Amino acid sequence: MIFRSLQYRIAIVFVGLLILVMALMLAMVTRSNERIVAAEMTREISAGALVFKRVIEQNRRQLETAATVLSADFAFRDAIATQDQPTIRSVLRNHGARIGAKVMMVINPAGELIADTQRGDAASSSYPVPDLLAVAETQGMSTDFKQMRDGQLYQMVLVPILAPRLIAWVAMGFPVDDRWAVDLSQMTGLTISVVRHDDKSTALLASSLDGARRLALPAELQTLAQDTPKLLSFGDEHFQTLLLPLGKSASVVLQRSLEQAEAPYRSMQNALYSIVMGAIAMFVLGSILFSRRIAGPVNQLAAVAKRIQEGDYAHPVPTLPPDEIGQLAVSLDRMRQGIAEREQKILKLAYEDTLTGLANRVRFLETFDRHPKGTPAAIAVLDLDRFAMINDALGHPIGDRLLGIVGERLANIVAPPGLVARLWGDEFAFLLMGADEAVATRFAELLHATLRAPFALDGQRLDVGGSLGIALCPQDGQDANTLLRRAELAMYLAKRKQIGFVLASGIGGDPPHEHLSLIGEMREALDRLEFVVHYQPKLDPSTGRIKTAEALLRWQHPAKGLLPPLSFIPFAEQTGFIREITPWLLGHVIAQTARWRAEGLIIVPSINISARDLLNPELVEQVRKLTAAHELPPDGICLEITESALMEDPALALEHLNQLAAYGTRISIDDYGSGQASLAYLKTLPVHELKIDQTFIRSVIDSPKDAAIVNSTILLGHALGLKVVAEGAETSADLEWLRNSGCDEVQGYGIARPMPAAELPGWIAAFAWKLHQ
């Protein structure tokens, strides 16, 4: 409906505008025409009046000339001079006819009528228009319009007859009749009427009008003033009327018909009206068609947009003519494709694990939630065995690729509506719709069989095992989170017991104490500051001074008391949680070192770094930032790295070590001698210190073999420019032996046990004092 109204709105707006413009134009044309007609009427009337006056004046001159010529005619004069009535009358008629005078009279100089063509016996009567004679006597001749006895108006000309002195006057009358009026009407273009009017009545004497208007004219003239144009109406016809004096007792009425003057404009206006009407009709039709052409495609596009809005991206936008709307359609289609692609991508990101292409945890939970309540289902959690080691040994890229192919193989054993998801790390989850314990058990066997075949990666054969925990719905829980947690616990048990798979129902409600989500506990421990750092001082036996100490992480467990690193660090390393612990440890130790320095105690702490930490590309930056933040010199700390940590990814480890050494951080090789690293290999590393494994130190006194190894190691280390540290010195004999062997630093219970940071300054002070004693 909206689009229909758009279509009509377009038409209505355009047609409305056109009508408005046309109406304005017509109004202006009409008004302008009225003004033009009015102006033209006035102009025509005044021009006509001027022409009329000229013609009248010209007529008068012509008549006077004719009369003068006649009066000078010798025979005429001769005849007048005879004083013989019949002769005079006949000459009057004869000569009068020559110039078209209807009335001819001869008057003697005394003013007496001698002869008159109107009456036979004119003699001795007086001349009927004495005023004319009076004028002629002073001016030589005179002319005026006079109504004569017959009621007819005449233009009278009175001229003298000279022989050579005045012997008589001859008066000639030219009739002012309808023919006169018609002639003048043709010359002036106006209607001409002659009236004689006094106070009481107006009589029409001559007119170019005919019929009713002729009869109606006198009555209309009563209101008319001389020389002022006025519009008079005769029935339905209107006349611009001007009254001019004609002689002393008559007036001439000049008229111009308004309708006649308007006629050309009327026909023009009518033509204009038809054109306007035709234009509006054509425009209405045109704009309806045009708006339909616009609204149609818009309609189609709207339908497409609505489908897109509803999430249906399948229908392509119809191809439209290549105008603006066509371009809009093309854009809309691109938008549709773009939205479809992006939605696909977002869905992938939201529901897909990018590493394996499997479903992620969100998708897994959602899928489970969609399954009908109460129907049986099983959730299985698989954690790959030894994956951490593979990852540590071969590097993350290999580990990631391994996860990818494992995922592929796992996906093959679950048919829809079942689902495989990667929860995180090397942990996978399976949703088995409608599975009971038997089905789940068979699935576990299938899974193990599937994993038993080795995976080939870059030509290497990798054996990957896994531990599986299975929780059943509804027995073990109703919601996905509960089921997942229980399956996870079962999986941990299976892993610990190395028994392939465990059913959650088999381990009861309470998970085993030790594995009580150790990761969660560690995370809480970090938050609750249950981790503490103890420091074990290292003694320089040649000087008896304490310049360094090993920072050792302890867990002050609320229930189990102080836990040593060996009880949780391997697990943290295996689960990757070490990545959260090490930054905390670095920050904590560096801050403590900085505080001691501020107090005047310069201690270089050694911090243990795992293989995972060393391979972490952020380690170097973390060290750099922390030392800089606490204004500690780069060689203010020492990082202890085990030989095995170096072996996992020697290239990456070397790169990171080089970066650290370049920065200035001291690097120590921990537990030297327990691994296979040769000194020749160590020589290529930017290492400052060798820490001989305590198993050698513990037996230097008892075993001459070990003593020889330690001695040669110290010598070789010194030869390579390395500082050699011994740990595990428990007795003063050990200490004495080590001092004599030239060991640079000694650490062990024989000197001090690890102690809280707060106790170290006091202990050092006491130790120094003891030494001086």
With CB under 8 A, what is the number of residues at the site for another protein?
10
Q: Which long-range contacts (CB under 8 A, 24 or more apart) does 714-721 make?
A: 714/741, 714/742, 714/743, 715/742, 716/679, 717/679, 717/690, 718/742, 720/679, 720/682, 720/683
700-714 burial, b if ≥16 CB within 10 A, otherwise e? beeeeebbebbbebb
Q: Nearest approach, Cβ of 183 to another protein (angstroms)?
A: 32
Angle made by CA atoms 592, 593, 599, in degrees to the nearest 5? 95
Does 524 sit near another protein (CB under 8 A)? no
Minimal distance, residue 44 CB to another protein, in Å: 41
**110 is a contact residue toward another protein (CB under 8 A):** no
Pairing of strands 561-563, 545-557: antiparallel
Closer of 23 and 75 to another protein (Cβ): 75
Among 21, 72, 453, 733, binds another protein (CB under 8 A): 72
Nearest approach, Cβ of residue 145 and another protein (Å): 28
**According to CB under 8 A, which one of 18, 26, 69, 167 is a site residue for another protein?**
167
Spatial distance between the Cα atoms of 387 and 393, rounded to a whole number of angstroms: 10
Nearer to another protein, 46 or 82 (CB): 82
Q: Which is nearer to another protein, 163 or 604 (CB)?
A: 163
Residue span binding another protein (CB under 8 A) among the ranges 164-172, 303-311, 516-524, 586-594: 164-172
Quick one: which segment of 38-46, 77-85, 342-350, 563-571 binds another protein (CB under 8 A)?
A: 77-85
Q: Does 34 bind another protein (CB under 8 A)?
A: no
Look up residue 565 and give its DSSP letter.
G
DSSP state of 119: -
- Give 600's DSSP letter: T
Closer residue to another protein in complex, CB, 78/341: 78
164 lies in the binding site for another protein (CB under 8 A)? yes
| Site for another protein contains 163 (CB under 8 A) | yes
Q: Which is nearer to another protein, 167 or 294 (CB)?
A: 167
Please spell the DSSP secondary structure of 192-219, one letter per residue: EEEEEE-SS-EEEEEES--HHHHHHHHH
Residue closer to another protein (CB basis): 140 or 583: 140
Distance of CA 190 to the CA centre of its chain: 73
Is residue 165 part of the contact set for another protein (CB under 8 A)?
A: yes
Residues 6+ apart with CB under 8 A from 165: none
* Amino acid type, 764: I
Nearest distance, CB of residue 109 and another protein, angstroms: 12
Residue number, 135 or 462, with CB nearest to another protein? 135
Q: Please give the C-alpha separations between residue 37 and each of 40, 259, 264, 271, 274, in angstroms, as whole numbers.
A: 5, 10, 10, 18, 21
Contact 168, 114 (CB under 8 A): yes
647 binds another protein (CB under 8 A): no
Distances (CA, A) of 90 to 76, 82, 86, 117: 10, 12, 6, 9
Calpha distance 142→157 (Å, rounded): 6
- Angle at the Cα of 584 from the Cα atoms of 578 and 585, rounded to 5 degrees: 85
Choice from 1, 74, 461, 721 touching another protein (CB under 8 A): 74
725 in Cβ contact with 692 (< 8 Å): yes
Residue span binding another protein (CB under 8 A) among the ranges 19-27, 156-164, 464-472, 698-706: 156-164
Of 21, 39, 134, 162, the one binding another protein by CB under 8 A: 162
Side-chain half-sphere exposure of 393, counting CA atoms within 13 A:
7
| Least spacing, CB of residue 110 vs another protein, in Å | 13
Q: How far is the CB of 204 from another protein (least distance, A)?
A: 42
Q: Is 77 in the site for another protein (CB under 8 A)?
A: yes
Nearer residue to another protein within complex by CB, 167 or 279: 167
Nearer Cβ to another protein, position 89 or 534?
A: 89
Name the nearest CA neighbour of 243 among 261, 213, 217, 214.
217
Smallest distance, Å, CB 164 to another protein? 3
CB of 133 to another protein, least distance (A): 18
DSSP 8-state code for residue 412:
H
Minimum gap (Å) between residue 65 Cβ and another protein: 14
Return d(Cα 669, Cα 661) in angstroms, integer.
Answer: 13
CB hemisphere CA count around 534 (13 angstroms)? 15
Residue among 12, 55, 81, 272 that touches another protein (CB under 8 A): 81
- Among the residue ranges 69-77, 241-249, 492-500, 519-527, the one whose residues contact another protein (CB under 8 A): 69-77
Interface stretch with another protein, choices 74-82, 364-372, 460-468, 622-630 (CB under 8 A)? 74-82
Report the interhelical angle of 74-81 vs 85-99 (nearest 10°): 150
CB of 167 to another protein, least distance (A): 7
Smallest gap from Cβ 168 to another protein, in A, equals 10
374 binds another protein (CB under 8 A): no
Task: Report the interface residues with another protein, using CB under 8 A.
Answer: 72, 74, 77-78, 81, 162-165, 167
